[in-house]
């Protein structure tokens, strides 16, 4: 056995996140997913969508003398879907010098853990050509400690790799003409073929960044069939590869397509054609492809790693993790297209991954294990909102709704005990009060109240509504600035800001406090909150809290468009917020911790939903077409599109996908919901109870909640002061500077909060309520007085 030289190879890196296709079989007996980019196979995932197992698998063409060409670098590529709604692909790679053409079909075997490629090499010039497959294993979610070797299964030659307890096997329907394993950058097949035009036979490459290379033979039909099998053992991986190769490719393709046809047939007919694709069916397939049968309902954010990151082990998760917010957005899209069964799977997954304190993790592996470790209030509220939408749309029966009440009660308790501020905004960068998070939290509490009433729960629905009403009434106090620094240029009276940090003095929001701007290429630093604006303000309309024609909303949109809107050849785009740093750098280099935020197609979808709610259907339809025009050649919607001058050397063109995540499932979800909203003539997921209560009814709050960690300095005259305390207490208070005083016992809500209400009827502006409390059991006093002023 000959060990390859050059251990451990260069440091491994992930490949491009700009996918042109993804696919998987709809089968309980197949647990593999593939992605395609630049005409070749990129990451393959096994046995679940959060575990990437290869970097890429491409082809090299040589002659017997001086010719060398690599498929992904020396060819132009085209990708076609073999059938609407079926993620099976025809890839055509044409050599830039006109020497050859490679035609491939790529699928998964529904009855095996294997990816299959049918390959035809067409020689367009003179002289014989040789065809090689080059595979870079990255088992599992990393390529630094893999081992590769040449071997056999039942006497049939194969190439193997192992890492992190998982094995893969690469085999062809005809025995390899030659094969080798090596260390990337030193003794891998690319190096050998580029420098020598032939393979040196290395049998093993141990514990490093390895590559497997094989020369393929073609049958009498001119075709080669290549299989990539996976398993916990080498024999299991080899079995899957061999079994798939022993079945005619057309038989496997028909079975693969049949599963997808059956699933698509159950969905609503909302067809949309653009760029040669049925974009509606591409998007529904994207939604379903990101789920794992062994973790039903667990849909990851993307089968991609943004910009490939600098090294393969820098961020093991990439975007193949579950974000509860993205998951709920996906469920809303499945509801919009008619997959109620899929929605119920997601709700069951959310219930299973619910934390004991009522929250959900910022993101997690499919088994619910937290990854980054943060908590975002909107992600803790969204499941309640989703459940309310599913109930409203008839996807759940009352007995099923009853099963979810413990989850709703716990989540509502967490939101009430920790909101309306969040430890992280929806862009995962700052803590404080944000329009999006506050809007979701309020709408979710009202959804919880609706669910509670449907189940005939006492007391809690009123408590949820009181909190939602109070928070809604304070939105402008928390997030709207008059005569701010961005107002003069836009010619407006005021606007909603991106985020209000918490004041260390008052423990409430500070409209003029300092916000840490992160990641921006020009330098991170502290910026006044009133100098930052975000598209997030549209959430106040999307979730029914403010009318689309509210003057404050209209003024904010003028500021947003002045700072965040970019005109692109295929339509307008919007950046997340001014001074955003999450995107390519100015010269087009990948984001590496610093950059410049670019335009997000999903934000065009959110803007289109706003336009539809405002009665501007033509604008919404135009923005839908813009999103379609900003997709990849395979119809995939990226996280971001390039919005700077063209940089051909880096493949960056205005309005075209950048190097960010693609596909972004959340973006496809927004697209599907927009298609449904336009079909209905109304925003599909806008909660009707919030519209009736706030945008139309202008509901006035009955009380103002006060918590020790979230105090309010003043309340309007006539409002009740509601104290939300963490333990059973006796509250001592005065309304007249201790000339008289009274005591009141708290009431246990069952949510981890004990509430007491102090009436302020008859009090006038300038007066105050002063209070303290003692533990109801131990009798220990809190130790200080608190004062809440009465405002006009």
Q: What is the pLDDT of residues 298-347, one digit of tens each?
A: 999 999 989 886 455 556 668 999 999 999 999 999 999 999 999 999 99
- Bridge partners, residue 685, by sequence: none
Our measurement of the distance from residue 237's CA atom to the centroid of its chain's CA atoms, rounded to an integer in Å, reads 31
Q: What is the mean pLDDT of residues 734-758?
A: 97
DSSP assignment of 626-647, as one string? HHHHTS-TTSPPPS-B--SS-B
CB 417 within 8 A of CB 710: no
Check residue 535 and report its DSSP letter.
G
Q: What percent of the chain has pLDDT over 70?
A: 99
DSSP assignment of 257-319, as one string? HHHHHHHHHTS-----EETTEEHHHHHHHHHHHTEETTEEEEE-S-SS-GGG-SSTTT-S-TT
d(Cα 677, Cα 666) in Å, to the nearest integer? Answer: 16
> What confidence score (pLDDT) does residue 313 get?
54
3-state secondary structure 369-434: CECCCCCCHHHHHHHHHHHHHHHHCCCCCHHHHHHCHHHHHHHHHHHHHHCCCECCCCCCCCCEEC
Q: What is the mean pLDDT of residues 470-495?
A: 97
> What confidence score (pLDDT) does residue 315 get?
60
Mode of pairing for the β-strands spanning 742-745 and 747-748: unpaired
Q: What is the pLDDT of residues 153-190, one digit of tens each?
A: 999 999 999 999 999 999 999 999 999 999 999 999 99
Tokens of 576: 């997340």
- Residue 424 clears pLDDT 60, i.e. is over it: yes
Q: What is the mean pLDDT of residues 256-281?
A: 96
d(Cα 600, Cα 655) in Å, to the nearest integer? Answer: 10
| Residue 639 confidence class, pLDDT cut points 50, 70, 90 | very high
> What confidence score (pLDDT) does residue 522 get?
82
d(Cα 687, Cα 709) in Å, to the nearest integer? Answer: 30
> What confidence score (pLDDT) does residue 507 get?
80
Q: Report the run of H or E that residue 216 belongs to, with start and end.
A: strand 210-216
CB 533 within 8 A of CB 517: no
> What confidence score (pLDDT) does residue 314 get?
58
| Residue 220 confidence class, pLDDT cut points 50, 70, 90 | confident
| Residue 219 confidence class, pLDDT cut points 50, 70, 90 | confident
Q: 754 — phi, psi (to 5°)? A: -120, 120
pTM: 0.96
> What confidence score (pLDDT) does residue 316 get?
64
Q: What is the mean pLDDT of residues 670-682?
A: 98
Residues 6+ apart with CB under 8 A from 624: 272, 605, 608, 671, 674, 675, 678
CB 566 within 8 A of CB 465: no
Q: What is the pLDDT of residues 599-629, one digit of tens each?
A: 999 999 999 999 999 999 999 999 999 999 9
Q: What is the pLDDT of residues 187-199, one digit of tens each?
A: 999 999 999 888 9
- Bridge partners, residue 446, by sequence: none
**Buried b / exposed e along 51-65 (16+ C-beta atoms within 10 A):** bbbbbbbbbbbbbee
Check residue 707 and report its DSSP letter.
B
Our measurement of the distance from residue 8's CA atom to the centroid of its chain's CA atoms, rounded to an integer in Å, reads 34
> What confidence score (pLDDT) does residue 221 get?
87
Residues 6+ apart with CB under 8 A from 762: none
d(Cα 579, Cα 597) in Å, to the nearest integer? Answer: 7
Q: What is the pLDDT of residues 679-714, one digit of tens each?
A: 999 999 999 999 999 999 989 999 999 999 999 999
CB 259 within 8 A of CB 25: yes
> What confidence score (pLDDT) does residue 521 get?
86
DSSP assignment of 544-590, as one string? TSS-TT-HHHHHHHHHHHHHTEEEETTEEEE-SBTT---S--TTSPP
Q: What is the pLDDT of residues 503-530, one digit of tens each?
A: 988 788 999 999 999 888 888 789 999 9
Whole-number Cα distances in Å, 545 to 300, 610, 699: 29, 13, 10
Q: Is the dihedral of CA 138, 142, 143, 147 positive or negative?
A: negative
Q: What is the pLDDT of residues 348-386, one digit of tens each?
A: 999 999 999 999 999 999 999 999 989 999 999 999 999
């Amino acid at each position: 056995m000959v060990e390859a030289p050059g251990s451990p190879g260069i440091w491994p890196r992930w490949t491009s996140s700009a996918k042109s296709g993804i696919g998987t079989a709809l089968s309980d007996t197949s647990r593999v997913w593939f992605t395609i980019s630049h005409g070749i196979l990129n990451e393959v995932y096994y046995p679940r969508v959060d575990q990437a197992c290869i970097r890429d698998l491409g082809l090299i063409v040589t002659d017997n003398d001086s010719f060398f060409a690599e498929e992904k670098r020396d060819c132009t590529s085209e990708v076609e879907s073999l059938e609407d709604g079926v993620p099976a692909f025809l890839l055509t790679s044409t050599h830039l010098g006109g020497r050859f053409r490679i035609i491939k079909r790529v699928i998964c075997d529904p009855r095996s853990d294997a990816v299959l490629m049918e390959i035809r090499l067409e020689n367009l010039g003179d002289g014989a050509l040789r065809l090689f497959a080059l595979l870079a294993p990255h088992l599992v979610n990393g390529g630094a400690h893999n081992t590769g070797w040449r071997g056999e299964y039942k006497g049939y030659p194969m190439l193997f790799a192992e890492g992190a307890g998982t094995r893969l096997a690469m085999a062809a329907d005809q025995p390899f003409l030659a094969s080798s394993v090596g260390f990337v950058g030193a003794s891998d097949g690319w190096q050998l073929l580029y420098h020598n035009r032939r393979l040196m036979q290395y049998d093993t490459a141990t514990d490093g960044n390895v590559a497997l290379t094989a020369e393929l033979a073609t049958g009498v039909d001119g075709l080669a069939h290549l299989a990539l099998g996976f398993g916990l053992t080498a024999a299991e991986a080899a079995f899957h590869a061999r079994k798939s190769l022993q079945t005619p490719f057309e038989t496997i393709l028909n079975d693969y397509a049949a599963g997808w046809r059956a699933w698509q047939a159950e969905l609503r007919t909302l067809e949309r054609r653009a760029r040669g694709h049925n974009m509606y069916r591409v998007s529904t397939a994207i939604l379903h492809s990101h789920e794992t049968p062994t973790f039903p309902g667990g849909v990851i954010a993307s089968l991609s790693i943004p910009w490939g990151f600098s090294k393969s082990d820098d961020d093991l998760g990439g975007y193949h993790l579950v974000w509860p917010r993205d998951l709920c957005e996906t469920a809303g899209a499945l509801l919009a297209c008619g997959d109620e069964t899929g929605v119920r799977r997601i709700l069951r997954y959310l219930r299973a991954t619910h934390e004991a304190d009522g929250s959900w993790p910022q993101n997690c592996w499919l088994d619910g294990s937290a990854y980054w470790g943060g908590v975002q209030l909107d992600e803790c509220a969204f499941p309640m909102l989703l459940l309310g939408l599913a109930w409203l749309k008839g996807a759940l029966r009352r007995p099923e709704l009853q099963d979810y009440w413990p989850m709703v009660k716990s989540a509502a308790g967490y939101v009430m005990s920790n909101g309306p501020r969040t430890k992280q905004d929806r862009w995962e960068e700052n803590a404080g009060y944000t329009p999006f998070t506050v809007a979701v939290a309020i709408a979710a509490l009202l959804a919880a109240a609706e669910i509670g009433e449907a189940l005939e729960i006492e007391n809690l629905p009123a408590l949820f509504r009181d909190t939602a009403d109070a928070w809604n009434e304070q939105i402008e106090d928390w997030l709207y600035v008059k005569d701010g620094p961005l107002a003069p240029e836009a010619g407006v009276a005021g606007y909603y800001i991106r985020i209000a940090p918490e004041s260390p003095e008052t423990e409430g929001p500070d409209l003029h406090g300092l916000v840490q701007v992160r990641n921006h290429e020009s330098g991170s630093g502290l910026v006044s909150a009133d100098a930052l604006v975000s598209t997030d303000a549209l959430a106040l309309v999307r979730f029914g809290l403010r009318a689309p024609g509210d003057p404050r909303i209209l003024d904010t949109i003028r500021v947003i468009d002045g700072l965040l809107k970019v005109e692109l050849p295929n339509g307008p785009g919007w950046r997340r917020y001014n001074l955003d740093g999450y995107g390519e750098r100015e010269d087009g280099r990948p984001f590496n911790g610093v950059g410049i935020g670019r335009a997000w197609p999903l934000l065009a979808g959110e803007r289109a939903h706003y336009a539809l709610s405002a009665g501007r259907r033509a604008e919404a339809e135009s923005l839908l077409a813009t999103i379609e025009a900003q997709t990849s050649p395979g119809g995939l919607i990226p996280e971001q599109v390039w919005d700077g001058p063209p940089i051909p050397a880096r493949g960056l063109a205005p309005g075209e996908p950048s190097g960010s995540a693609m596909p972004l499932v959340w973006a496809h979800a927004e697209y599907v919901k927009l298609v449904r909203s336009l079909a209905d003539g109304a925003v599909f997921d806008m909660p009707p109870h919030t519209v009736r209560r706030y945008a139309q009814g202008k509901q006035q709050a009955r009380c103002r909640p006060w918590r020790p960690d979230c105090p309010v300095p003043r309340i309007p005259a006539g409002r009740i002061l509601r104290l939300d305390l963490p333990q059973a207490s006796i509250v001592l208070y005065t309304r007249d500077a201790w000339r008289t005083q009274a005591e009141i016992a708290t009431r246990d809500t069952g949510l981890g909060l004990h509430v007491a209400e102090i009436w302020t009827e008859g009090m006038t502006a300038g007066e105050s309520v002063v209070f303290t409390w003692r533990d109801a059991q131990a009798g220990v006093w809190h130790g200080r007085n608190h004062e809440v002023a009465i405002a006009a």
